[in-house]
Structure 1
Amino acid sequence: MKKLVCVLMLAAAFSIERTTACTTFFLEKSGQMAFGKNYDWMTGTGSINTNLRGLAKSSLRLDDGKILKWVSKYGSTTFNQYGKEFPNGGMNEKGLVVELMWLSESQYPKKDDRPGLSVLQWIQYQLDNNATVDEVLATDKTVRITSTGTPQHYLVADSKGAVATIELLGGKMVVHRNDKLPYAALANSTYEESINAMKNKRTNDNSLDRFSNACTMLQQYKQAKTTKPLVDYSFDILNKVAQPGFTKWSIVYDLTNKKIFFKTSNRPQQKIVAMNAFDYACSSQARSYNLNRDDKGDISKRFVSFNIEENKKMVKKAFKESEGLNIKDELQDAVGEFAEGVKCG
């Protein structure tokens, strides 16, 4: 299992030279809240999974840290590509949203007394255990993000309207929130660089352009007297910052009503997932949905029981479509089989 981290590292590292990955933002107006995410990558293969509360879990066995064990407090719905329990992002039943993006400048903490979590499992840990941004930030005292080659940063938001960027710079967590977060958006540059470039109108860069465009549209929506629904406008922003050929998933989380809206590049019909359509009790069955099915509208009832064999197939397909990767079968199996060991606590 220790090699699993290296597998995910290779997948990310190979891709970054071909695409600058992902744009996120948070938008609030008149008590309504939405969180948008474009997932830009080589492949759009993936699934949406429900994750139950009351599950006993443990962290990957990493070379530089202790094992962390916990029992999930909250159910969640996540977007997964390299296997269940290692999400790209998602929302839990309390309305906490966590999403990640590539950041080349990331420098993770060195080994210390805190157990370490890989960049993807850290997302699942936060959704399992926390309801607010404050709670997420507090975990830095007890848990660290660890990686040897997957430089990421995060945008997080909750149903109370709190939002923050989380970056790992110089081995420490750097947070922007409240008055240090004039625009609730993030692409693939540090937040400080993005804000400075926007102030100086220096945005002749893919990441900085997307950040600037997203921020401008966020500001326009807040100031304009528009009746356009928040979710629809969020998709307008995602369309504006999309990268043709690389934007595989466009996702809007409705934090107020606990719904998830999404489109995929090869199935552009809008789909809706209602969080309250699922039973997140540990005694129930986890559910799953192939992201690239040809459906539209509310798909909550089209989820099927999670199947470990289908999960393994998805992982293998995702790696196969990650052009240039040569990952051994046993490592692909390790990713796909990991969720099988997660049981009710």
Structure 2
Amino acid sequence: MMLKLQFSPLCYGLLIFTVLSAALLQPAEACTRILWNDNGLAVVVGRTMDWPESTEPVLTVLPRGMKRDGGRTGDTVTVKENPARWTSKYASLVTTLYGVGTADGFNEKGLGGHLLYLQATDFGTRDTRLPGVQAGLWLQYLLDNAASVKEALALMKTVQIVMTEAHGHNATVHLAIEDASGDSAVVEYIDGKPVIHHGKQYRVMTNDPTYDEQLALVEKQDYSNPSSDTPLPGNVKATDRFQRATYYAAMLPKPNNEREAIASILAIARNVSVPFGAPYKGFGIYNTEYRTAINLTDRRYFFELTTSPNVIWVDLNSFKLGPGSPVMRLDPDNPQLSGNVSGEFRKADKPPY
């Protein structure tokens, strides 16, 4: 494993997640992630999900003790030889993507993560000596088995992430993870090797180009004297969103409570969201479908569907999470939902994976 450490003032990353479903019409999506780990109140993180159609997000509570097959993408066998199989050690609350992967979420220990697309991704030639995990379950594998960023990075040495495909579109994904201590990491596979940026300073993430290149671009900007006259790029491309998120994240005022902390993260997420109809170079129209915010300290998940007038939230601590507990789910595409919706979840007919 190739470890690359960067020590710039802020942490940044690039994330997009390839949709792994038959409903896909385009090869990629654009997203932004913002981590706030130095506010003195709680470690909070937010993200946007940008896509030209509904990814059919479902909020899902997954208890401990669930058996998983990392070699399957829905009903398709992706890893035919030596697929990773495991039993979940930790419970998690996630947003699923077309029922075949985990795009976003966190576990009961306060490890959070976000899986998105990167064009340069290359997982390398399949090495059957290592158990294989299809790319859509990469994040879920870590949420099931790791309590911290450090543990998650160690676990990654024991498996191989394997490219999966749906309708001719490859899941060229990369990953951002963070935990309740404020630790953070961005993982990209470039030329078949993992490139890891590990440290609390990696807070803002968008999309292409690679993370190294994004860091170099933002370091050329002078945001030392912020004001309303500071020139900021305002379009929807990844480099513009990266710089705007970096600028505004550096100026967040200390929150007095969770309400202010979550509002601060969502304010930046809204600033870097892709408006309806805005063209995204090379990929057509990629509106922001939803925004999330996670309080990793107190284990609460906030979700905002852009076509809904309300923000909803879920308290993971209010669910039964032990082995044998039911998988619970909630379709957020309901404009009547508002506020704490923990009691609105219903038992799933079957696990998503």
Task: Bin the TM-score by the shorter chain.
Answer: 0.7 to 0.9
Q: Report the counterpart of residue 34 of structure 1 in structure 2.
A: 44
1:8 to 12, 15, 20: 20
Structure 2 CA distance for aligned equivalents of residues 15 and 33 of structure 1: 33
Paired letter, 2:181: K
Q: Specify whether residues 170 and 9 from structure 1 end up closer, same or farther in structure 2 by C-alpha distance, changes over 3 A only.
A: farther
TM-score, normalisation: structure 2 = 0.79
Q: Report the counterpart of residue 51 of structure 1 in structure 2.
A: 62
Structure 2 CA distance for aligned equivalents of residues 283 and 193 of structure 1: 46
Answering whether residue 31 of structure 2 is matched by residue 22 of structure 1, we say yes
Q: Report the counterpart of residue 262 of structure 1 in structure 2.
A: 303
Q: Report the counterpart of residue 198 of structure 2 in structure 1.
A: 177
After TM superposition, give the deviation of residue 56 of structure 1 in Å. Answer: 2.0
Contact 1:13 1:150 in 2 (8 A): no
Answering whether residue 153 of structure 2 is matched by residue 133 of structure 1, we say no
Q: Report the counterpart of residue 103 of structure 2 in structure 1.
A: 88
Contact 1:12 1:150 in 2 (8 A): no
Residues 269-295 of structure 1: CA deviation (Å, up to 9, x unaligned): 010100111001122221110011221
Structure 2 CA distance for aligned equivalents of residues 96 and 10 of structure 1: 30
Contact 1:102 1:152 in 2 (8 A): yes
Structure 1 CA distance for aligned equivalents of residues 267 and 120 of structure 2: 29
**CA RMSD in angstroms, aligned pairs only:** 2.3
Paired letter, 1:199: E
Answering whether residue 341 of structure 2 is matched by residue 299 of structure 1, we say yes
Q: Specify whether residues 162 and 11 from structure 1 end up closer, same or farther in structure 2 by C-alpha distance, changes over 3 A only.
A: farther
After TM superposition, give the deviation of residue 24 of structure 1 in Å. Answer: 0.7
TM-score, normalisation: structure 1 = 0.80
Structure 1 CA distance for aligned equivalents of residues 299 and 70 of structure 2: 28
Q: Specify whether residues 135 and 12 from structure 1 end up closer, same or farther in structure 2 by C-alpha distance, changes over 3 A only.
A: farther
Structure 1: segments with no counterpart, 5+ residues: 1-5, 309-338
After TM superposition, give the deviation of residue 140 of structure 1 in Å. Answer: 2.3
Q: Report the counterpart of residue 186 of structure 1 in structure 2.
A: 205
After TM superposition, give the deviation of residue 122 of structure 1 in Å. Answer: 1.3
Q: Report the counterpart of residue 287 of structure 1 in structure 2.
A: 328
Answering whether residue 255 of structure 2 is matched by residue 236 of structure 1, we say no
Task: Name the SS of the counterpart of 1:120 in structure 2.
Answer: helix
Residues 220-240 of structure 1: CA deviation (Å, up to 9, x unaligned): 11xx46658211100101011
1:115 to 110, 131, 134: 131
Contact 1:101 1:187 in 2 (8 A): no
After TM superposition, give the deviation of residue 73 of structure 1 in Å. Answer: 0.5
Structure 2: segments with no counterpart, 5+ residues: 1-17, 72-76, 165-169, 222-231, 277-286
Paired letter, 2:60: N
Contact 1:259 1:275 in 2 (8 A): yes
Q: Report the counterpart of residue 332 of structure 1 in structure 2.
A: none
Q: Report the counterpart of residue 219 of structure 1 in structure 2.
A: 250
Paired letter, 1:50: V
Paired letter, 2:140: Q
Q: Specify whether residues 307 and 42 from structure 1 end up closer, same or farther in structure 2 by C-alpha distance, changes over 3 A only.
A: farther
Contact 1:74 1:129 in 2 (8 A): yes
After TM superposition, give the deviation of residue 68 of structure 1 in Å. Answer: 1.4
Structure 2 CA distance for aligned equivalents of residues 198 and 12 of structure 1: 32
Q: Specify whether residues 183 and 138 from structure 1 end up closer, same or farther in structure 2 by C-alpha distance, changes over 3 A only.
A: closer
Structure 2 CA distance for aligned equivalents of residues 198 and 284 of structure 1: 46
After TM superposition, give the deviation of residue 183 of structure 1 in Å. Answer: 4.0
Q: Specify whether residues 183 and 283 from structure 1 end up closer, same or farther in structure 2 by C-alpha distance, changes over 3 A only.
A: closer
Paired letter, 1:39: M
- Structure 1 window deviating more from structure 2 (244-253 vs 278-287): it is 278-287
Contact 1:187 1:210 in 2 (8 A): yes
Paired letter, 2:156: D
Aligned residue pairs, count: 298
After TM superposition, give the deviation of residue 131 of structure 1 in Å. Answer: 0.6
Task: Name the SS of the counterpart of 1:111 in structure 2.
Answer: coil
Residues 50-73 of structure 1: CA deviation (Å, up to 9, x unaligned): 111012222224356412121110
Structure 2 CA distance for aligned equivalents of residues 150 and 13 of structure 1: 14
Q: Report the counterpart of residue 173 of structure 2 in structure 1.
A: 152
2:120 to 89, 105, 111: 105
Q: Report the counterpart of residue 182 of structure 2 in structure 1.
A: 161
Structure 1 CA distance for aligned equivalents of residues 294 and 53 of structure 2: 22
Task: Name the SS of the counterpart of 1:267 in structure 2.
Answer: coil
Q: Specify whether residues 116 and 233 from structure 1 end up closer, same or farther in structure 2 by C-alpha distance, changes over 3 A only.
A: same
Paired letter, 2:126: K
Paired letter, 1:187: T
Task: Name the SS of the counterpart of 2:26 in structure 1.
Answer: helix
Q: Which has the higher helix share?
A: 1
